[in-house]
Structure 1
Amino acid sequence: MSSLGTEILGVIFLLVGTAATFLMFYQWGFPYDAANHRSQAPPWLNRSLRILGYIYLFIYLYMMWAMIPRLWTYQVELPARTVAHLVLGIAIGAILVIKISVVRWFKFLEKTLAPILGVALFICTVVLVGLALPSYAREAYLHRAAFSPERRDQLQGLLERAGLADAAQRQQLGSVEDLQRGREVLLDQCVQCHDLRSVLIKPRTPANWRATVERMANRSIFVAPIDDDDQWRVTAYLIAISPSLQKTVQLERQQQQASSQARLAVHDAQNRSDDYDPAAAREVFEVLCSQCHDLADVDALPPETEAELHELMERMVENGLEASEEEMAQAMRYMQETYLQ
């Protein structure tokens, strides 16, 4: 199944599970006939729950049918996220078996166990989909840029850096068809040994992508071999999405730098030994804090320790607080004198 199909199926699975759970809550608000083991909820409600249950079961069986055969092709230790997917998938299966058994053959347990099992299914479903969808959604977002004419033109020179001397082959690899095939190899074969997130976590140089693909292909030769043409196709696709990966990494790096600068600024402000004027410090405090929120917010939930004060100031700087070192020192001293005494 394509990446888009996987995303759609995952969303449907989550929506069906959510709808079934809340309809179940509504159903159990009606009286329960303990003698006949039957809810007195309206027939339409019972039918709706039954239909949603069948849909949920069908999607689950389809996903497990697609997942379990892939497990046999792993040649390295399963990635942590794959282990989590597997554990959740097995847990959902076990809960489904118990719930179906209770509803069909052990009705005397239905009133007690059915709501608990339904909630457990919902929780497992949310966690399972929550672990899987973000990586596929990110890849779906990244691949759009890879097919743009500008990126495909740029790819020609990058493939040469990766060691591909044949200009005609570079031109072919830059076609939409070959890039699409490279994406299919990534989503169908590369993820047999790697979690998709681990592939997309950071960009690489063209030569590094080529070396990585060759190394991984050599490991898969006995189970899911990737021929040389497909190796170049997936290499081309990974090179094509690398600029978008780089933007993500740069953003994360900027956020880390901003956090480090905030801590340094707060540390420097704390170590200043300027004369303390309570009235002037209060004025600075009011000006700085009112840039983003009401002063009453600070009074309602003030810092109670030095650690909380430092964390508060660092967060303010990260959020865009504009202040000199002297102003931050005055504001911190004012809060120390006002809230920490």
Structure 2
Amino acid sequence: MSDEKDFKAGFVAVIGRPNVGKSTLMNTLLGQKLSITSPKPQTTRHRIHGIHSTENYQIVFVDTPGMHLGGQKSINRYMNRAANSAFADVDVVLFVVEAGRWTQEDQAVAQKCQNLDIPVIVLVNKIDKMQQKEVLLPYLQKIAEKIDFDEVIPVSAYKKSGIELIEAEVLKHLPNQPAIFPEDYITDRSSRFLASEIVREKLMRTLGDEVPYGVTVEIEKFKFDEEEGRWVIHALILVERPGQKQIVIGKQGQLIKQVGIQARKDLMKMMDSRVHLELWVKVKENWADDDRALASLGYTDEIN
């Protein structure tokens, strides 16, 4: 580490509406996968800290659920609380929008940014998907009319373009102070929590459009078997209705088997070890609209 006087460290919130690519962007900034991703909106349900450390600085990125309108279930209220909590005690806000699109939800996030007394950097993501590049400038001008920002940076999280510009701009605003976390930390979340997220990601990617929102994952067993030399992980997949259980299991158990194969690969990579993974599916009616059930499943403001 460099001299403490020259070292910079701070928290950077990554905010925006659902499905603008916040988690993909944070994974790209970290240089490795931490937050789960899928093409479906509201894949991220929890606030997650991703820690990027170098010799000269430490940036703690705060990935958040997408701020969304509608959705009156308890889980929707929880996700919006988790997203709003990112504004507290951060040094910089990265407001992610999708190139060429501006929705009511974008506008709602922009209004929250208006009252902040910290720098707001607008990241215009998915520029690689713009068919007509000449419409980018008018779009940037449109954003300038809607929100006061310190900088706007066109980026592509998928193509990894604009990443160095983001870091350089963030560093301008971070305070000189010692590192917040030990330099070998990548997150403050537990491996157990990350394991549940990996299984849920595979479900989000494998299932159709509706079912994933009625699904959550609870890790019931997470221990290293010394004799076998491998991690033993038992994951319980909870659904809201009996019909969803059949969909998750799939014909002759093929869907859940595929989820298990994909999740096990990622778990072995994360744990750097052999992994024995077992999955079960259970119906827990209306878990997503039950505050007590949500708390027991880890949907709380506490980091775990």
The answer to whether TM tops 0.5 is no
Larger Rg: 1
TM-score, normalised to structure 2, is 0.24
Bigger strand fraction: 2
**Of the two structures, which has the highest relative contact order with CA contacts closer than 8 Å and spacing of 6 or more?**
2
Bigger helix fraction: 1
